[in-house]
């Protein structure tokens, strides 16, 4: 009998197939690359570094699980990482020879039908031990997809397919992976009832999410069917039309941003996600132009008036940019339903500070806590003792009000952390932490500083952008058991829009008072309105960039420790630290400029 051809024209990995459940746009780009080049080599050049970093962190968690298995007295571990599948039998034979007390255990007799690396696992308990763990089992389906099962565990005749993941809950991408691994394990466990197979996700939060084997295999089949459908579309050269048929573009990745802009997709509207996009498609609305020009009777009833106003704002900005021939113009208007009064956002006082925190949500993952590590806290204000104090070159308001337009202004060359705050007549104070003990210390320093400053300046305010800073303070207080009453007092009284106690959330004020033509309301997206020549220099532009740079800082610091032992005094780590401080300081100083811009443009005096 002539064997059937494989389903996939080229070899494709489980992780690449599972990508379809993270972002179908990324998978479309991968498919085009795969069909054009015959392999996935070079595709990762387009993937943001953060994703590689997450994969590395997941691998660290896998290593931690493996270490735990090795330490268990009732567990036998066969680590197959780096071992070619076709040598599995020989490798196991060597393992027996290295452990003489196991020599009486027979090897599997069968070694044929072109699947030698699968059959050794059919013995229900090859080591006659309570638990046997096979790590990094490399498998390939005849249909041309392959993968490495992180852990395949036999305990009393029951098999566990285990995937370790950094996180507190299971995402669709992980479930897709689990289903595909369960399908790959068919050849290994084809004589084991599915009731005796348990696909599991071991989360760094300490939870184990177990799933029904038949259910996850069906999920795997669905992923394969969808992947084949997309590959067929690309083979038929319907590339331009494929975008509109994608089920779940994430809207966040590099590939989505490029495609959304190219196709003028409705997902560029702030507030439109995949489900709203699908509902609009069902009514023939695909682009921003379609939405703006469509009669209200043809639009879904759940679209609120604010979303439609946002769409019109972005359309107006888009048309104005075409007319002006520039990509940096930002259209803005007041939300006339809101009144921002002077008491909601008073002029800057000497005691006011601007606060920003950098969170590495992948660090310090443990069973007890998976909220990450705040590795850098930045504070900008006046009268702040700091090693980064610099002399001011000009009064703050004069600089703010003399900004050139964003399109034509050259970038001011800020060479070191502390330069920007000095330019505004202020001081930047950075607090660093690289582990839980140091994190506790910097939060103690911050809260102590705020308590003392409030005594000196009773009407002081702490300005921040979005909820993260207050949430991190509350988590630190709960995690380390300190300053609970003091923090409650700092956050207790409510005084106006976006304010709780001494804290004022500028993000809430922005959303309450102005509307722009930008696709979002992050600080970076608003900066063309008020930063002028003080705009960000190319480099670290968002949180993902800063996380990658923080990893580089940690790696450089570790290398420098080794170099010092051999007399080398290289200081690469200091450069990385200064870049991160400049990024953190820029966010603080950007809030200073935003505060003044809002007072000049959004206040309505009764």
What pLDDT is stored for residue 1 in this prediction? 43
What pLDDT is stored for residue 246 in this prediction? 81
Give the residue, 119 or 122, on which the prediction is more confident.
122
Query: pLDDT by residue (tens digit) across 321-365?
Result: 888 888 778 898 888 666 677 778 889 999 999 999 998 876 665
Query: pLDDT by residue (tens digit) across 256-293?
Result: 888 888 889 999 998 888 888 889 988 999 999 999 99
Those residues with Cβ within 8 angstroms of residue 432's Cβ, 6 or more apart along the chain or in another chain: 375, 376, 438, 442, 577
Report residue 441's pLDDT band, with 50, 70 and 90 as the boundaries: very high
Torsion of CA 534, 536, 542, 544, to 10 degrees: -140
Those residues with Cβ within 8 angstroms of residue 480's Cβ, 6 or more apart along the chain or in another chain: 440, 443
Check pLDDT > 60 for residue 569.
Answer: no
Check pLDDT > 90 for residue 118.
Answer: no
How many other β-carbons are positioned within 10 Å of the β-carbon of residue 487? 21
Query: pLDDT by residue (tens digit) across 14-68?
Result: 988 988 888 888 888 888 888 888 877 777 666 666 666 667 677 777 877 887 7
Report residue 584's pLDDT band, with 50, 70 and 90 as the boundaries: very high
Report residue 470's pLDDT band, with 50, 70 and 90 as the boundaries: very high
CB 20 within 8 A of CB 226: yes
Q: Identify any residues that bridge with 445 across adjacent strands, giving them in sequence order.
A: none
Q: Give the whole-angstrom CA distance, residue 132 versus residue 126.
A: 8
Cα–Cα distances in angstroms (integers) from residue 194 to residues 133, 218, 350, in the given order? 19, 13, 69
Which of 137, 156, 154 lies closest to 79 in space, CA to CA?
137
What value does the mean pLDDT take over residues 126-136? 68
When mean pLDDT is compared across 238-242, 551-555, 602-606, the lowest value belongs to: 238-242
- Report field, pTM of the whole predicted structure over 0.85: no
Which of 366, 363, 386 lies closest to 374 in space, CA to CA?
363
* Mean pLDDT over the full length of the chain: 78
What value does the mean pLDDT take over residues 376-399? 63
Which of 149, 123, 122 lies closest to 138 in space, CA to CA?
149
What value does the mean pLDDT take over residues 538-547? 68
Query: pLDDT by residue (tens digit) across 395-433?
Result: 344 444 434 455 555 566 677 888 888 888 899 999 999
Backbone torsions φ then ψ of 399, nearest 5 degrees:
-65, -45
Give the residue, 220 or 102, on which the prediction is more confident.
220
Q: Identify any residues that bridge with 496 across adjacent strands, giving them in sequence order.
A: 499
Check pLDDT > 50 for residue 107.
Answer: no
**Percentage of residues of the chain with pLDDT beyond 90:** 27
């Amino acid at each position: 009998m002539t064997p059937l051809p494989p389903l996939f024209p080229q070899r494709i990995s489980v992780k690449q197939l599972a990508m379809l459940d993270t972002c179908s746009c990324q998978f479309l780009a991968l498919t085009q690359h795969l069909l054009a080049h015959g392999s996935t080599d070079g595709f990762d050049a387009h993937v943001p570094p953060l994703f590689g970093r997450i994969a590395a962190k997941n691998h660290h968690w896998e290593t931690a699980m493996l270490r735990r298995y090795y330490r268990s007295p009732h567990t036998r571990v066969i680590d197959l990482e780096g071992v070619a599948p076709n040598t599995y039998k020989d490798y196991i034979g060597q393992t027996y020879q290295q452990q003489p007390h196991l020599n009486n255990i027979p090897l599997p007799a069968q070694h044929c039908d072109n699947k030698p690396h699968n059959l050794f696992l059919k013995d229900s308990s090859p080591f006659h031990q309570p638990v046997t763990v096979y790590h990094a089992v490399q498998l390939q389906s005849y249909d041309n997809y392959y993968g490495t099962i992180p852990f395949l565990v036999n305990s009393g005749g029951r098999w566990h397919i285990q995937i370790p993941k950094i996180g507190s809950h299971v995402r669709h991408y992980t479930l897709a992976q689990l289903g595909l691994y369960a399908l790959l394990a068919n050849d290994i466990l084809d004589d084991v009832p599915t009731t005796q197979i348990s696909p599991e996700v071991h989360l760094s939060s300490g939870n184990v999410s177990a799933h029904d084997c038949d259910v996850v295999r069906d999920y795997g089949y669905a992923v394969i069917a969808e992947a084949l459908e997309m590959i067929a579309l690309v083979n038929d050269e319907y590339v331009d039309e494929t975008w509109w048929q994608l089920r779940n573009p994430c809207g966040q990745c590099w590939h989505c941003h490029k495609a959304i802009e190219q196709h003028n997709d409705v997902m560029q509207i702030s507030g439109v996600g995949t489900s709203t996009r699908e509902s609009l498609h069902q009514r023939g609305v695909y682009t921003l132009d379609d939405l703006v020009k469509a009669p209200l009777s043809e639009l879904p009833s759940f679209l609120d008036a604010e979303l439609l106003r946002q769409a019109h704002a972005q359309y107006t900005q888009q048309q104005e940019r075409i007319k002006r021939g520039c990509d940096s113009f930002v259209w803005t208007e007041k939300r006339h339903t809101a009144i921002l009064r002077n008491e909601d956002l008073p002029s800057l006082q000497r005691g006011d500070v601007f606060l920003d925190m950098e969170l590495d949500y992948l660090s310090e993952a443990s069973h007890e806590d998976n909220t990450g590590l705040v590795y850098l806290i930045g504070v900008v204000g006046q009268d702040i003792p700091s090693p980064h104090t610099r002399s001011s070159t000009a009064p703050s308001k004069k600089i703010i009000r003399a900004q050139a337009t964003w399109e034509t202004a050259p970038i001011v060359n800020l060479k070191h952390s502390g330069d920007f705050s000095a330019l505004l007549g202020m001081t930047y104070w950075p607090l660093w932490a690289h582990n839980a003990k140091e994190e506790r210390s910097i939060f103690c320093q911050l809260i102590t500083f705020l308590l003392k400053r409030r005594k000196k300046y009773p009407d002081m305010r702490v300005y921040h952008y979005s909820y993260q800073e207050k949430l991190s303070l509350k988590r630190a207080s709960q995690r380390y058991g300190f300053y609970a009453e003091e923090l409650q007092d700092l956050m207790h009284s409510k005084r106006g829009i976006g304010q709780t106690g001494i804290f004022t959330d500028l993000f809430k004020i922005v959303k309450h008072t102005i509307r722009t033509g930008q696709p979002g309301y992050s600080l970076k997206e608003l900066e063309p309105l008020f930063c002028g020549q003080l705009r960000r220099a190319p480099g670290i532009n968002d949180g993902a960039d800063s996380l990658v740079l923080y990893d580089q800082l940690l790696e450089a610091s570790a290398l420098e420790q080794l170099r010092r032992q051999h007399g080398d005094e290289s200081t690469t780590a200091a450069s990385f630290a200064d870049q991160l401080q400049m990024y953190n300081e820029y966010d603080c100083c950007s809030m200073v400029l935003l505060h003044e811009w809002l007072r000049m443009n959004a206040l309505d005096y009764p």
